[in-house]
Structure 1
Protein backbone atom coordinates (compact mmCIF):
# COMPACT_ATOMS: atom_id res chain seq x y z
CA UNK A 1 0.00 0.00 0.00
CA UNK A 2 2.85 2.40 -0.68
CA UNK A 3 0.50 4.31 -3.00
CA UNK A 4 -1.25 5.65 0.11
CA UNK A 5 1.72 7.92 0.69
CA UNK A 6 1.07 11.12 -1.25
CA UNK A 7 1.36 14.82 -0.70
CA UNK A 8 -1.46 17.02 0.46
CA UNK A 9 -1.17 18.91 -2.80
CA UNK A 10 -1.77 15.72 -4.76
CA UNK A 11 -4.77 14.88 -2.60
CA UNK A 12 -6.29 18.36 -2.82
CA UNK A 13 -7.82 17.89 0.63
CA UNK A 14 -9.01 21.51 0.81
CA UNK A 15 -11.54 20.81 -1.95
CA UNK A 16 -12.82 17.52 -0.57
CA UNK A 17 -16.17 17.16 1.22
CA UNK A 18 -15.94 16.88 5.00
CA UNK A 19 -15.81 13.47 6.65
CA UNK A 20 -18.84 13.40 8.95
CA UNK A 21 -17.70 10.73 11.39
CA UNK A 22 -19.57 9.63 14.47
CA UNK A 23 -22.21 11.72 16.25
CA UNK A 24 -22.70 12.54 19.93
CA UNK A 25 -25.62 10.13 20.13
CA UNK A 26 -23.20 7.30 19.34
CA UNK A 27 -20.66 8.19 22.03
CA UNK A 28 -20.61 7.19 25.70
CA UNK A 29 -18.39 8.93 28.23
CA UNK A 30 -17.87 6.12 30.73
CA UNK A 31 -18.91 7.43 34.14
CA UNK A 32 -20.07 4.26 35.90
CA UNK A 33 -19.21 0.60 36.25
CA UNK A 34 -22.44 -0.27 34.42
CA UNK A 35 -21.35 1.75 31.40
CA UNK A 36 -17.89 0.17 31.57
CA UNK A 37 -19.44 -3.31 31.60
CA UNK A 38 -21.62 -2.40 28.61
CA UNK A 39 -18.55 -1.15 26.74
CA UNK A 40 -16.58 -4.26 27.58
CA UNK A 41 -19.33 -6.59 26.36
CA UNK A 42 -19.75 -4.75 23.06
CA UNK A 43 -16.06 -4.26 22.34
CA UNK A 44 -14.99 -7.78 23.30
CA UNK A 45 -17.56 -9.12 20.83
CA UNK A 46 -15.82 -7.29 17.97
CA UNK A 47 -13.07 -8.70 15.79
CA UNK A 48 -11.41 -5.27 15.70
CA UNK A 49 -11.90 -1.93 17.44
CA UNK A 50 -10.63 1.61 16.94
CA UNK A 51 -8.16 2.77 19.58
CA UNK A 52 -6.56 6.04 20.59
CA UNK A 53 -5.55 8.04 23.66
CA UNK A 54 -5.44 11.71 24.59
CA UNK A 55 -3.14 13.43 27.07
CA UNK A 56 -3.10 16.86 28.61
CA UNK A 57 -0.37 18.73 26.71
CA UNK A 58 2.87 19.77 28.35
CA UNK A 59 4.15 23.28 27.66
CA UNK A 60 7.09 23.77 30.02
CA UNK A 61 10.60 22.60 29.27
CA UNK A 62 11.35 19.44 31.20
CA UNK A 63 7.70 18.91 32.12
CA UNK A 64 6.79 15.22 32.12
CA UNK A 65 3.42 14.11 30.78
CA UNK A 66 1.12 12.39 33.25
CA UNK A 67 -1.01 10.95 30.45
CA UNK A 68 -2.78 9.30 28.96
CA UNK A 69 -5.80 11.00 30.54
CA UNK A 70 -8.40 9.56 28.16
CA UNK A 71 -8.64 6.26 26.29
CA UNK A 72 -10.99 6.01 23.31
CA UNK A 73 -12.32 2.73 21.94
CA UNK A 74 -14.81 2.34 19.09
CA UNK A 75 -16.85 -0.38 17.46
CA UNK A 76 -18.43 0.04 14.03
CA UNK A 77 -21.48 1.68 15.61
CA UNK A 78 -20.42 3.27 18.91
CA UNK A 79 -17.49 4.82 20.75
CA UNK A 80 -16.67 4.78 24.44
CA UNK A 81 -14.39 7.28 26.17
CA UNK A 82 -12.65 6.17 29.37
CA UNK A 83 -11.32 8.99 31.62
CA UNK A 84 -8.24 7.40 33.19
CA UNK A 85 -8.39 9.45 36.41
CA UNK A 86 -11.64 7.80 37.47
CA UNK A 87 -11.35 4.44 39.16
CA UNK A 88 -14.46 2.99 37.54
CA UNK A 89 -13.92 1.43 34.16
CA UNK A 90 -10.22 0.72 34.55
CA UNK A 91 -10.75 -3.02 35.09
CA UNK A 92 -12.85 -3.27 31.94
CA UNK A 93 -10.37 -1.13 30.03
CA UNK A 94 -7.47 -3.35 31.07
CA UNK A 95 -9.36 -6.48 29.99
CA UNK A 96 -10.11 -5.03 26.55
CA UNK A 97 -6.64 -3.66 25.85
CA UNK A 98 -4.93 -6.86 27.01
CA UNK A 99 -7.24 -9.16 25.06
CA UNK A 100 -5.32 -11.15 22.42
CA UNK A 101 -8.59 -11.89 20.58
CA UNK A 102 -9.59 -8.28 19.80
CA UNK A 103 -7.45 -6.30 17.36
CA UNK A 104 -6.88 -2.68 18.41
CA UNK A 105 -6.24 -0.38 15.43
CA UNK A 106 -5.15 3.25 15.49
CA UNK A 107 -2.66 5.85 14.28
CA UNK A 108 0.55 6.99 15.93
CA UNK A 109 0.48 4.45 18.73
CA UNK A 110 4.22 4.45 19.37
CA UNK A 111 4.08 5.95 22.86
CA UNK A 112 0.81 4.39 23.99
CA UNK A 113 2.28 1.03 24.94
CA UNK A 114 4.75 2.42 27.50
CA UNK A 115 2.39 5.16 28.73
CA UNK A 116 -0.47 2.76 29.43
CA UNK A 117 1.89 0.34 31.14
CA UNK A 118 3.21 3.09 33.40
CA UNK A 119 -0.16 4.70 34.14
CA UNK A 120 -2.53 1.71 34.36
CA UNK A 121 -0.33 -1.38 34.40
CA UNK A 122 -1.82 -2.36 31.03
CA UNK A 123 0.17 -4.59 28.68
CA UNK A 124 -1.23 -3.87 25.21
CA UNK A 125 -1.83 -6.92 23.05
CA UNK A 126 -2.87 -7.39 19.43
CA UNK A 127 -2.34 -3.82 18.22
CA UNK A 128 -2.05 -2.54 14.64
CA UNK A 129 -0.63 0.93 13.95
CA UNK A 130 -2.22 1.94 10.66
CA UNK A 131 0.21 4.83 10.33
CA UNK A 132 3.01 2.32 9.83
CA UNK A 133 1.00 -0.27 7.91
CA UNK A 134 -0.25 2.15 5.26
CA UNK A 135 3.05 3.85 4.48
CA UNK A 136 4.38 0.82 2.61
CA UNK A 137 7.95 -0.46 2.49
CA UNK A 138 10.77 1.95 1.72
CA UNK A 139 9.00 5.05 3.03
CA UNK A 140 9.98 7.13 6.02
CA UNK A 141 7.57 8.47 8.61
CA UNK A 142 3.98 7.36 9.00
CA UNK A 143 0.68 8.00 7.26
CA UNK A 144 -1.79 10.07 9.27
CA UNK A 145 -5.55 9.73 9.48
CA UNK A 146 -6.11 12.85 7.35
CA UNK A 147 -4.15 11.44 4.41
CA UNK A 148 -5.78 8.03 4.79
CA UNK A 149 -9.32 9.49 4.86
CA UNK A 150 -8.60 11.46 1.70
CA UNK A 151 -7.16 8.39 0.01
CA UNK A 152 -9.82 5.83 0.93
CA UNK A 153 -12.94 7.98 1.30
CA UNK A 154 -12.23 11.01 -0.88
CA UNK A 155 -13.10 13.21 2.10
CA UNK A 156 -11.42 15.72 4.41
CA UNK A 157 -10.89 14.68 8.02
CA UNK A 158 -11.02 17.97 9.89
CA UNK A 159 -9.24 18.20 13.23
CA UNK A 160 -9.13 21.27 15.45
CA UNK A 161 -5.64 22.00 16.80
CA UNK A 162 -7.22 23.99 19.63
CA UNK A 163 -9.30 21.00 20.71
CA UNK A 164 -6.41 18.58 20.21
CA UNK A 165 -4.22 20.56 22.61
CA UNK A 166 -6.96 21.19 25.18
CA UNK A 167 -7.05 19.91 28.75
CA UNK A 168 -7.83 16.21 28.46
CA UNK A 169 -7.41 15.78 32.21
CA UNK A 170 -10.46 17.95 32.86
CA UNK A 171 -13.20 16.34 34.94
CA UNK A 172 -15.76 17.72 32.48
CA UNK A 173 -15.03 17.31 28.79
CA UNK A 174 -16.98 19.56 26.43
CA UNK A 175 -18.83 18.38 23.31
CA UNK A 176 -16.00 19.36 20.99
CA UNK A 177 -13.54 17.27 23.00
CA UNK A 178 -15.93 14.31 23.11
CA UNK A 179 -16.45 14.34 19.34
CA UNK A 180 -12.75 14.90 18.60
CA UNK A 181 -11.69 11.99 20.81
CA UNK A 182 -14.43 9.62 19.66
CA UNK A 183 -13.74 10.22 15.99
CA UNK A 184 -10.02 9.57 16.36
CA UNK A 185 -10.87 6.01 17.42
CA UNK A 186 -13.87 5.58 15.14
CA UNK A 187 -12.15 6.72 11.94
CA UNK A 188 -9.23 4.36 12.60
CA UNK A 189 -11.58 1.37 12.56
CA UNK A 190 -13.37 2.59 9.42
CA UNK A 191 -10.04 3.05 7.66
CA UNK A 192 -8.93 -0.42 8.73
CA UNK A 193 -12.09 -1.86 7.17
CA UNK A 194 -11.48 0.14 3.97
CA UNK A 195 -7.86 -1.02 3.83
CA UNK A 196 -8.93 -4.65 4.17
CA UNK A 197 -11.39 -4.23 1.31
CA UNK A 198 -8.65 -2.69 -0.82
CA UNK A 199 -6.58 -5.81 -0.19
CA UNK A 200 -9.45 -8.03 -1.30
CA UNK A 201 -10.17 -9.09 2.27
CA UNK A 202 -13.72 -8.75 3.64
CA UNK A 203 -13.80 -5.87 6.13
Structure 2
Protein backbone atom coordinates (compact mmCIF):
# COMPACT_ATOMS: atom_id res chain seq x y z
CA UNK A 1 0.00 0.00 0.00
CA UNK A 2 1.33 3.46 -0.94
CA UNK A 3 1.81 5.91 1.91
CA UNK A 4 0.86 9.04 -0.06
CA UNK A 5 -1.25 9.84 -3.11
CA UNK A 6 -0.94 12.82 -5.44
CA UNK A 7 -3.87 14.98 -6.51
CA UNK A 8 -3.39 13.73 -10.06
CA UNK A 9 -3.46 10.05 -9.03
CA UNK A 10 -6.51 10.68 -6.86
CA UNK A 11 -8.35 12.31 -9.77
CA UNK A 12 -7.77 9.18 -11.89
CA UNK A 13 -9.72 7.02 -9.44
CA UNK A 14 -13.44 6.25 -9.89
CA UNK A 15 -15.88 8.45 -7.94
CA UNK A 16 -17.97 6.54 -5.40
CA UNK A 17 -20.60 7.31 -2.80
CA UNK A 18 -22.52 5.31 -0.23
CA UNK A 19 -25.11 3.06 -1.89
CA UNK A 20 -26.77 1.52 1.14
CA UNK A 21 -29.91 2.53 3.01
CA UNK A 22 -29.91 6.03 4.54
CA UNK A 23 -32.19 7.10 7.40
CA UNK A 24 -32.52 10.88 7.76
CA UNK A 25 -33.81 11.34 11.30
CA UNK A 26 -35.87 14.45 12.12
CA UNK A 27 -38.29 12.89 14.63
CA UNK A 28 -36.84 12.50 18.10
CA UNK A 29 -39.30 9.65 18.80
CA UNK A 30 -37.45 7.47 16.27
CA UNK A 31 -34.02 7.95 17.84
CA UNK A 32 -34.12 5.33 20.61
CA UNK A 33 -34.93 2.49 18.20
CA UNK A 34 -32.27 3.56 15.68
CA UNK A 35 -29.59 3.89 18.35
CA UNK A 36 -30.50 0.35 19.51
CA UNK A 37 -29.75 -0.82 15.93
CA UNK A 38 -26.37 0.92 16.02
CA UNK A 39 -25.57 -0.60 19.44
CA UNK A 40 -25.58 -4.07 17.87
CA UNK A 41 -22.36 -3.20 16.02
CA UNK A 42 -18.84 -3.42 17.36
CA UNK A 43 -17.58 -0.52 15.19
CA UNK A 44 -19.38 2.26 13.27
CA UNK A 45 -18.31 5.21 11.14
CA UNK A 46 -18.82 8.67 12.65
CA UNK A 47 -18.90 12.28 11.45
CA UNK A 48 -20.71 15.58 12.00
CA UNK A 49 -21.68 18.53 9.80
CA UNK A 50 -22.08 22.16 10.80
CA UNK A 51 -23.54 25.00 8.77
CA UNK A 52 -20.55 27.07 7.63
CA UNK A 53 -20.16 30.50 9.15
CA UNK A 54 -18.77 33.18 6.92
CA UNK A 55 -18.60 35.65 9.81
CA UNK A 56 -15.41 36.00 11.83
CA UNK A 57 -15.81 34.67 15.35
CA UNK A 58 -19.26 33.15 14.77
CA UNK A 59 -19.43 29.39 15.20
CA UNK A 60 -22.64 27.56 14.37
CA UNK A 61 -23.86 24.56 16.36
CA UNK A 62 -23.43 21.03 14.99
CA UNK A 63 -26.52 20.41 12.88
CA UNK A 64 -25.99 16.83 11.69
CA UNK A 65 -24.59 13.73 13.41
CA UNK A 66 -23.77 10.80 11.14
CA UNK A 67 -23.14 7.14 11.95
CA UNK A 68 -22.71 4.37 9.41
CA UNK A 69 -22.28 0.63 9.16
CA UNK A 70 -21.24 -1.00 5.88
CA UNK A 71 -24.93 -1.33 4.91
CA UNK A 72 -26.80 1.55 6.49
CA UNK A 73 -26.21 5.21 7.33
CA UNK A 74 -28.01 7.18 10.03
CA UNK A 75 -28.19 10.97 9.73
CA UNK A 76 -29.51 12.64 12.88
CA UNK A 77 -30.61 16.25 12.28
CA UNK A 78 -29.61 17.67 15.65
CA UNK A 79 -30.86 21.15 14.73
CA UNK A 80 -34.35 19.58 14.73
CA UNK A 81 -34.08 16.90 17.44
CA UNK A 82 -31.38 18.13 19.84
CA UNK A 83 -28.80 15.74 21.27
CA UNK A 84 -31.11 12.96 22.49
CA UNK A 85 -30.13 10.93 25.61
CA UNK A 86 -29.89 7.75 23.46
CA UNK A 87 -27.30 9.46 21.24
CA UNK A 88 -25.33 10.52 24.32
CA UNK A 89 -25.46 6.90 25.51
CA UNK A 90 -23.89 5.83 22.19
CA UNK A 91 -21.28 8.63 22.20
CA UNK A 92 -20.15 7.70 25.72
CA UNK A 93 -20.17 3.90 25.25
CA UNK A 94 -16.54 2.71 25.38
CA UNK A 95 -17.32 -0.73 23.95
CA UNK A 96 -18.65 0.54 20.58
CA UNK A 97 -15.85 1.90 18.42
CA UNK A 98 -16.74 5.12 16.63
CA UNK A 99 -14.34 5.69 13.75
CA UNK A 100 -13.73 9.02 12.06
CA UNK A 101 -11.28 11.62 10.74
CA UNK A 102 -10.67 14.89 12.61
CA UNK A 103 -12.99 13.74 15.36
CA UNK A 104 -11.60 15.85 18.20
CA UNK A 105 -13.27 18.91 16.67
CA UNK A 106 -16.49 16.94 16.14
CA UNK A 107 -16.55 15.91 19.80
CA UNK A 108 -15.85 19.51 20.87
CA UNK A 109 -18.77 20.71 18.72
CA UNK A 110 -21.14 18.10 20.17
CA UNK A 111 -20.06 19.08 23.69
CA UNK A 112 -21.29 22.61 22.97
CA UNK A 113 -24.79 21.11 22.64
CA UNK A 114 -24.51 18.97 25.75
CA UNK A 115 -21.55 18.08 27.97
CA UNK A 116 -20.61 14.39 27.95
CA UNK A 117 -17.54 12.21 28.49
CA UNK A 118 -16.91 10.54 25.14
CA UNK A 119 -15.85 6.89 24.93
CA UNK A 120 -14.71 4.46 22.25
CA UNK A 121 -13.60 6.97 19.60
CA UNK A 122 -10.83 6.04 17.15
CA UNK A 123 -9.12 8.81 15.20
CA UNK A 124 -8.16 7.38 11.80
CA UNK A 125 -5.51 10.08 11.35
CA UNK A 126 -3.63 8.63 14.36
CA UNK A 127 -4.27 5.01 13.39
CA UNK A 128 -3.05 5.20 9.77
CA UNK A 129 0.31 6.67 10.83
CA UNK A 130 1.04 3.38 12.62
CA UNK A 131 0.88 1.56 9.28
CA UNK A 132 3.04 4.17 7.51
CA UNK A 133 0.33 6.18 5.73
CA UNK A 134 1.24 9.86 5.57
CA UNK A 135 -1.81 11.41 3.85
CA UNK A 136 -4.54 11.58 6.45
CA UNK A 137 -7.49 13.48 4.94
CA UNK A 138 -10.61 11.36 4.45
CA UNK A 139 -10.48 12.03 0.70
CA UNK A 140 -6.89 10.79 0.41
CA UNK A 141 -7.50 7.82 2.71
CA UNK A 142 -10.39 6.74 0.48
CA UNK A 143 -7.99 6.84 -2.48
CA UNK A 144 -5.07 5.10 -0.75
CA UNK A 145 -6.96 2.40 1.14
CA UNK A 146 -10.19 1.89 -0.86
CA UNK A 147 -9.01 2.91 -4.36
CA UNK A 148 -11.82 5.35 -5.05
CA UNK A 149 -12.52 9.05 -4.87
CA UNK A 150 -15.22 10.84 -2.85
CA UNK A 151 -16.72 14.22 -3.64
CA UNK A 152 -16.38 17.02 -1.06
CA UNK A 153 -18.62 19.44 -2.98
CA UNK A 154 -21.41 19.61 -0.38
CA UNK A 155 -19.15 20.33 2.61
CA UNK A 156 -19.92 24.04 2.80
CA UNK A 157 -23.64 23.74 2.06
CA UNK A 158 -26.41 24.76 4.46
CA UNK A 159 -26.84 21.85 6.89
CA UNK A 160 -29.69 23.68 8.64
CA UNK A 161 -31.86 23.92 5.50
CA UNK A 162 -35.51 22.82 6.02
CA UNK A 163 -34.80 19.75 3.85
CA UNK A 164 -31.48 18.18 2.97
CA UNK A 165 -30.87 17.74 -0.75
CA UNK A 166 -30.07 14.32 -2.19
CA UNK A 167 -26.48 15.57 -2.68
CA UNK A 168 -26.18 16.52 0.99
CA UNK A 169 -27.62 13.19 2.15
CA UNK A 170 -25.20 11.20 -0.03
CA UNK A 171 -22.24 13.32 1.00
CA UNK A 172 -23.01 13.02 4.73
CA UNK A 173 -23.65 9.26 4.54
CA UNK A 174 -20.51 8.71 2.45
CA UNK A 175 -18.22 10.48 4.91
CA UNK A 176 -19.24 8.24 7.82
CA UNK A 177 -19.27 5.12 5.61
CA UNK A 178 -15.77 5.73 4.19
CA UNK A 179 -14.39 5.97 7.76
CA UNK A 180 -15.71 2.53 8.73
CA UNK A 181 -14.62 0.97 5.40
CA UNK A 182 -11.07 2.35 5.74
CA UNK A 183 -10.94 0.98 9.29
CA UNK A 184 -12.19 -2.51 8.31
CA UNK A 185 -9.75 -2.68 5.38
CA UNK A 186 -6.76 -1.67 7.53
CA UNK A 187 -7.69 -4.16 10.28
CA UNK A 188 -7.73 -6.96 7.66
CA UNK A 189 -4.43 -5.82 6.12
CA UNK A 190 -2.62 -5.08 9.39
CA UNK A 191 -4.27 -7.37 11.96
CA UNK A 192 -1.55 -6.78 14.56
CA UNK A 193 -1.95 -3.01 14.65
CA UNK A 194 -4.04 -2.01 17.62
CA UNK A 195 -6.26 1.05 17.16
CA UNK A 196 -6.11 3.30 20.23
CA UNK A 197 -9.20 5.15 21.42
CA UNK A 198 -8.93 8.86 22.19
Calculate the TM-score normalised by the size of structure 2: 0.87
Q: Does 1:62 align with 2:57?
A: yes
1:98–1:123 contact (8 Å) kept in structure 2:
yes
Distance change (3 Å), C-alpha of 1:88 and 1:136: closer
2:17–2:174 contact (8 Å) kept in structure 1:
no
Shift of 1:20: 3.6
1:18–1:155 contact (8 Å) kept in structure 2:
yes
In 2, Cα distance between equivalents of 1:154 and 1:137: 17
Pairing partner for 1:103 from 97, 102, 107: 97
Distance change (3 Å), C-alpha of 1:105 and 1:117: same
Calculate the TM-score normalised by the size of structure 1: 0.85
Paired residue secondary structure (2:81): coil
Paired residue secondary structure (1:86): helix
In 2, Cα distance between equivalents of 1:121 and 1:179: 29
2:4–2:133 contact (8 Å) kept in structure 1:
no
> Aligned-residue CA RMSD in angstroms?
2.3
Paired residue secondary structure (2:104): coil
**Residue in structure 2 matched with residue 39 of structure 1 by the alignment:** 34
Q: Deviations over 1:155-197 (max 9, x none)?
A: 222221xx11011122311111111111111110011100101
**Residue in structure 2 matched with residue 181 of structure 1 by the alignment:** 172
1:70–1:81 contact (8 Å) kept in structure 2:
yes
In 1, Cα distance between equivalents of 2:182 and 2:46: 12
**Residue in structure 2 matched with residue 129 of structure 1 by the alignment:** 123
Q: Does 1:19 align with 2:11?
A: no
How many residues align structurally? 192
Shift of 1:4: 5.4
1:36–1:89 contact (8 Å) kept in structure 2:
no
**Correspondence list, 1:82-161, <5 A:** 82-87=76-81, 90-136=84-130, 143-160=136-153
- Ranges of 4+ aligned residues in structure 1 off by more than 4 Å: 137-140
Gaps of 5+ in 1: none
